[in-house]
Structure 1
Amino acid sequence: MLDIVFVNPGDRKVVFQDLGKDLTAIEPPYLTLSFATYLQNKGFNVKIIDANALNITPEETAKIVKELNPRLVALIVYGNQPSASTQNMSIAGKIAKTIKETINLPIVMGGLHPSALPKRTLEEESVDFVIQGEEQIPLEQLLIALQEETSFETVESLWYYDNEVIKNSTKGKLINNLDDYMPIANWDLLPMDKYRAHNWHCFDDIDNRSPYAAIYTSLGCPYKCEFCCINAPFGKSTIRYRSPEIIVEELELLNKKYGIKNIKFIDEMFVLHEEHYMKIVDLIIERKLDLNIWCYARVDTVKEHTLKRMKQAGINWLALGIESANPDVRDGARKKMRVKDIEQRVRLIQEAGIRVIGNYIFGLPDDTLESMQETLDMAKELNCEFANMYCAMAYPGSSLYELALKRGWELPEVWHGYSQHAYVMQPLPSKYLSAKEVVKFRDNAFHEYFENPKYLNMLEEKFGKKVREHMEEITKTKLKRKILEK
């Protein structure tokens, strides 16, 4: 008998509107794959249905589940970025409901959002169990309990019903040895021909965004940015590492067996501890892997003496959390950096031949129209090779979410309203601006940045006319926003 079927939910049309058709990345669900591999190595029979990559409906997903008839269905809810779990809850809920209506199998839900709101998730969704925390050990224990028909009390980190009463077991300790619990993944479990990199990731070769893979080298982050929710499954701000040796062995597998060059390191903060990330860099160079990598860094963790070798290893893009130009706004979000430091680090990175994605947030608690304009002006002056422009969002699991509840701020009516690109997106107001004003500024800022001749000329100079035309085509699409229609 098949023990467990993992389902990776996704609804690109709803989450990204028309941008989801050709422009957004289709990312392999690495954590789901890792959990499945761990259980497979323990002797369980596993399958994965990547409904997002296959672009199939809840009804089609439920039909496949019925045919497979597993002992347990696991919906693991994460997203293309560390904060994107909540926006996938709408489709995850539909899939769970449809499976229950099609075949009454036990369903467990895990992921960042369920960890942040376990009781509410159990109450609202058509699931039997919710995991609050790391998933590997609870999944293993739950499968054994189902096989042996024993009590769920011994399954750690589990929320469940007992005679219609909600109960939860003791939360398990954080995993110490990630290599044991996040082994080299069995990538054959995934539809490897369905994944594609971000468009900007492949500006040097825009027609070859596939094949693509994304992996974690660490879990968590030691920082406490108020808008971030990624530590919700861990219960505290912390970071733990897989060994560089196992990571590079997995990269070599992806590169040589699957022909994958485009790689994302999903870690919220890859460029942090030099001993870890530079060991990975050195091993990649030693094994002569041909890779095109992007990863996250903080402005204040980038070190000049590491950049040349990072570039040599194929790290071609660094995503920097710049957030705001205004020091009062930025420090309110617990990021203490000076604008001149930001500019200096961006130029150092670019001089090493590495491209920069600047990440900016509009509508942080202390933002005004003037401070947001400062941020846009800085973004245009920095003129990074790409930019992500976000509205401040109160993601469940973040301190901003708790603040929003305390102050009675309006939150999205549906979970996909947490998507930055959705029609029903509902960001936070700042102390001085309405949510509508923030959305309007962000959407206008996107077009002002990407339609700027200075930016387009830089693109053409670095990547060629085809990439410039590609970006000019993108900006013809204007997102529809319900909040702007009010």
Structure 2
Amino acid sequence: MKVILISMPDVVPVVIHEAAVHMPNHGIACIGGNIDDDHEVYLIDLIRKRRSVRKYLTKTVKRIKPDLIGLSAMAWQYDTCIRIAQLLKELQPQVKIVIGGYHATLMHEEIAAAPESKWIDFMIRGEGEESCRRLVNALAGRDQLAAIPSLSYKQNGTFVHNERSENLDLSRLRLPIRDKRRLTWGYHMINSKIEILETSRGCTRACTFCSMKHMYGRTFRPYPLERVLADLDDIYYRCKVRWVFVSDDNFVLYPDRVMEICDAIIARNYRGLNFCVQADCITMAKNEKMVEKMAAAGFRSVFLGIESGSAKNLAVAGKGDIVDASRQAVENCHKFEMMVIGGLVFGFPDDDADSIRDTYDFFKRIGADAAYCQILTPYPKTGMREQLLSEDLITNKNDYKKYNGMWANVRTRHLDSEALQYQFWYQRQVVLGWWSPSAPMTKQGRLWTSIWRFIFKPFLKLRFRRIMRQHGWQGRYQMEVRRWEQMNTFQDLAGYEDHAVL
């Protein structure tokens, strides 16, 4: 069997320009790495082919002639996913299409009943490594579709949904694909090559906006340390990459485990190896020794889920009162020269212009290095969505193309969606202003921070000064909105049906 696994080209540039960071899709790499060796497997990350999606797929599919194509998509990428499925069926009518990822997991019943199901042959819900492996074998005549947990397949034109499988034993999974089977390349963070490492799956926190529990339940499963180190060896020695993004949902959930991993990394003496990681504020605030050990092991950048400076908003999000913990977590990271990217969420039910400004002010006061700002998004099947629906605060219930954190799909008790969208943008410009690289950021990237400070920033200041004279804040804002609207519009897929609404 010939198999191609494809990730979508859609991006969300909530920190820096959409071309500045392109990471490989770890999900399809893991699934591909666990398909049996007697099948031919190829990976395509369309994030590297954003300007030529149709042209590239046409050439590649005609050359390989796959038997099965897998498509992975988040909710906001689903429209692109269906357009690509139509293209693939047009190029090779006999090819089988399987979709997976968060959206297929959460919305499989709705997808099965929707018109676009005609383009889909299979769906995999939840973790895909074992189900996809068995699906490929079934199409080769070595397994039965009805016996594969977590698989949805068609019987007489109607989808049948097999029961979900239990969570996988991570110790049995093989390494992800990072070799020549990955047909796209050039993954980078600014000017450095980057790869992805996974050391655990799941999180036991109770955040109401998170859809992770629908993938794994409210569980935490670590990979064995030996497997983590084998993965790092593959990245460091074979791929010769020196920047690693740790994709765990919450890497620091168990500090003793973090210390053990860091000690093993230090003992291995990887020279010049740098890590970026996601972490929660409470753990980073309460475990200074762990933070110190992380820095010694090469952790250079930490994403912290700060979310808000309002205890009331944090309670709505299920985060607890982490205001003081956010401040202490940033302080601990900076003490050991770790850069902090702080996640902020706006659009909670009681938000108004003043509270939005206050949250930006809070972020500025605690001194985080860069902001990852999103508008509260009512992702399907989450507790947050149910809460907002009960209060009639969701203004866009079904058009998932705008469920990427950049768009206001909700209103608050004080702001309609349009006003929320504008205040989200405007208060950031006024309070945070132009980004100035901190000392840790400058140390880690002297070249690109210098380019920003001495070339791009002066040029952009002149450009926006002229725009402000001609159009004012509202005119500048409308220009930004038009740019956002065009960002994930792929002209060579424009001829295919729009099925973003379920």
Task: Give the alignment's TM-score, normalised by structure 2.
Answer: 0.83
Shift of 1:318: 1.1
Could you tell me whether the CA contact under 8 Å between 1:62 and 1:95 is conserved in 2?
no
Whole-angstrom distance in 1 between the partners of 2:176 and 2:55: 32
The residue that corresponds to 1:4 in the other structure is 3
Q: Say if 2:480 is the partner of 1:480.
A: yes
Task: Tell me how far 1:136 sits from its aligned partner.
Answer: 1.5
How many pairs were matched up? 457
**Counterpart in the other structure of 2:467:** none
Query: In the alignment, residue 416 of structure 1 is paired with which amino acid?
Result: K
**Aligned CA distance change for structure 1 residues 484 and 213 (closer, same or farther; 3 Å):** closer
Question: Residue 53 of structure 2 aligns with which residue?
Answer: 57
| 55-64 or 461-470, which deviates more | 461-470
Q: Show the 5 A alignment for 1:333-482.
A: 333-408=317-392, 409-411=394-396, 414-421=399-406, 425-451=407-433, 455=436, 465-469=450-454, 472=457, 480-481=480-481
Q: 1:81-96 residue pairs with structure 2 within 5 A?
A: 85-96=74-85
- Is the alpha carbon distance of 1:459 and 1:223 closer, same or farther for their aligned partners in structure 2, counting shifts above 3 Å? closer
Counterpart in the other structure of 1:115? 105
How far does the alpha carbon of each residue in 1:455-482 deviate from its partner, in whole angstroms, 9 at most, with x for none? 5686897666444347736785966327
Alignment partners' CA distance in 2, 1:179 and 1:470: 48
d(CA) in 2 for partners of 1:283 and 1:224?
30
> Cα 1:220–1:58, aligned 2, differ >3 Å: closer, same or farther?
farther
Q: Which amino acid aligns with 1:22?
A: A
Which amino acid counterpart does residue 181 of structure 1 have in structure 2?
L
Match of 1:324 in 2: 308
Query: What is the aligned partner in structure 1 of residue 152 from structure 2?
Result: 159
Taking the aligned partners of 1:107 and 1:192, their CA distance within structure 2 comes to 20
Matches of 2:396 and 2:179 in 1, distance apart? 38
What is the CA-CA distance between 1:232 and the residue it aligns to? 2.4
2:99 paired with 1:99: no
Deviation at 1:46, TM superposition (A): 1.1
Q: 1:196 aligns with which of 179, 188, 192?
A: 188
Tell me, yes or no, if structure 1 residue 46 matches structure 2 residue 41.
yes
Give the % identical residues: 21
Q: Among 33, 36, 49, which residue is 2:32 paired with?
A: 36
Q: Which moved more, 1:253-262 or 1:327-336?
A: 253-262
3-state DSSP of counterpart to 1:387: strand
> Is the Cα–Cα contact under 8 Å of residues 314 and 322 in structure 2 kept in the other structure?
no
CA contact (8 A) 2:341 2:370 kept: yes
On the 8 A contact 1:412/1:427 being kept in 2, the answer is yes
Q: Which runs of 5+ in 2 are unaligned?
A: 465-475, 486-502
Q: Aligned partners of 1:5 and 1:275: how far apart in 2? A: 39
Match for residue 239 of structure 2?
A: 258
Partner Cα separation in structure 2 for residue 21 and residue 307 of structure 1 = 30
Please provide the CA RMSD for this pair.
2.9
Give CA deviations for 1:49-90 in whole Å, capped at 9, x if unaligned.
22222333135314422332222111122xxxxxxx222212
State which drifts further: 45-54 or 126-135.
Answer: 45-54
Alpha-carbon displacement from aligned partner over 1:145-201 (angstroms, at most 9, x marks no partner): 2222875221211222211233211111111x213124354433225741011x4xx
Is the CA contact 1:436–1:483 (under 8 Å) kept in the aligned structure 2? no
2: CA distance, partners of 1:336 / 1:410: 27
Q: Deviation of residue 322 (structure 1)? A: 0.7
The aligned amino acid for 1:375 is T
The answer to whether 1:181 aligns with 2:173 is: yes
Q: How far apart, in 1, do the equivalents of 2:176 and 2:157 lie?
A: 40
Q: Deviations over 1:227-248 (max 9, x none)?
A: 11123222x2111111222212
User: 1:310 and 2:298 equivalent?
Assistant: no
Q: What displacement does 1:387 show?
A: 1.1
Q: Distance in 2 between matches of 1:413 and 1:334?
A: 24
Quick check: 1:133 aligned with 2:130?
no
CA contact (8 A) 2:23 2:196 kept: yes
SS of 1:481 mapped into structure 2? helix
Aligned to 1:205: none
1:268 aligns with 2:268: no
